[in-house]
Chains A and B, each alone.
Chain A
Amino acid sequence: KAGVTQTPRYLIKTRGQQVTLSCSPISGHRSVSWYQQTPGQGLQFLFEYFSETQRNKGNFPGRFSGRQFSNSRSEMNVSTLELGDSALYLCASSLSLRGLETQYFGPGTRLLVL
């Protein structure tokens, strides 16, 4: 099976712009989660989608939003970009192993905000 794919892999934007990142989960996985990773804050949970509905949300401002489509693909949008939004954005899709949701990650999108 193909793994989780994320596009684009690298992105440079300027402050005030908006950006949309895309994630395609492993075939058959219905849950998609997004994380932000920075050297200072580490890995922080953004949100999780399951069957096109947001199931969980982290502590991020409303500038960060997402959605999931009927084919389980997900997009994440960040509006009014700030310098502090520069980060690696990781997407993960989940599979239940022995009753436990196990997340498999994509390669990430590196966003640089200038």
Chain B
Amino acid sequence: AQKITQTQPGMFVQEKEAVTLDCTYDTSDPSYGLFWYKQPSSGEMIFLIYQGSYDQQNATEGRYSLNFQKARKSANLVISASQLGDSAMYFCAMREGFGANSKLTFGKGITLSVRP
């Protein structure tokens, strides 16, 4: 089974509107972290936000927030007030376990296009 699933096709959003990018995950480890990265066409992966499995509150970082629903195993990224510069690929990733041997597993990504 895939550990990280991002099934949305290319997403479009109007500038200044909010958009939700979906991510579901699969793990039996009680300790894990969920991450979102942005990859513009230049190629660099930009860290946006993360949520630990034991965090009591949903993570927020500026215009980014993570809608963490543990029972559903989903960690959706919400971008508020979209900007043209938000157009990029967005990857959800998970690190299982907090130990030295834990690895980061990425989903296949979602393309977001912001329309003016």
Contact = CB atoms under 8 A, between A and B. Distances in A.
A107 B46 CA distance: 9
Interface size class of B (residues with CB under 8 A): 20 to 34
A107 B47 contact: no
A99 B50 contact: no
A42 to B, nearest CB: 5
Please classify the interface of chain A as helix (H, G, I), strand (E, B), loop, or mixed, using the class held by over half of its residues: strand
Contact of B50 (A33, A56, A100): A100
A100 B98 contact: yes
A108 B43 contact: yes
Interface in B76-116: 91, 95, 98, 100-109
Given A55-B101, A90-B45, A107-B44, A102 B35 contact: yes
Nearest to A47: B103
A110 interface: yes
Contact of A101 (B42, B95, B108, B109): B95
Contacts of B109: 42
Contact of A105 (B46, B95, B100): B46
A99 B104 contact: no
B101 A102 contact: no
Contacts of A48: 103
Contact of B106 (A43, A101, A104, A110): A43
Interface of A: 33, 42-43, 45, 48, 50, 55-56, 58, 88, 90, 92, 97-108, 110
11 contacts: A33-B104, A42-B108, A43-B91, A45-B105, A48-B103, A100-B33, A100-B50, A101-B102, A102-B47, A103-B104, A105-B46
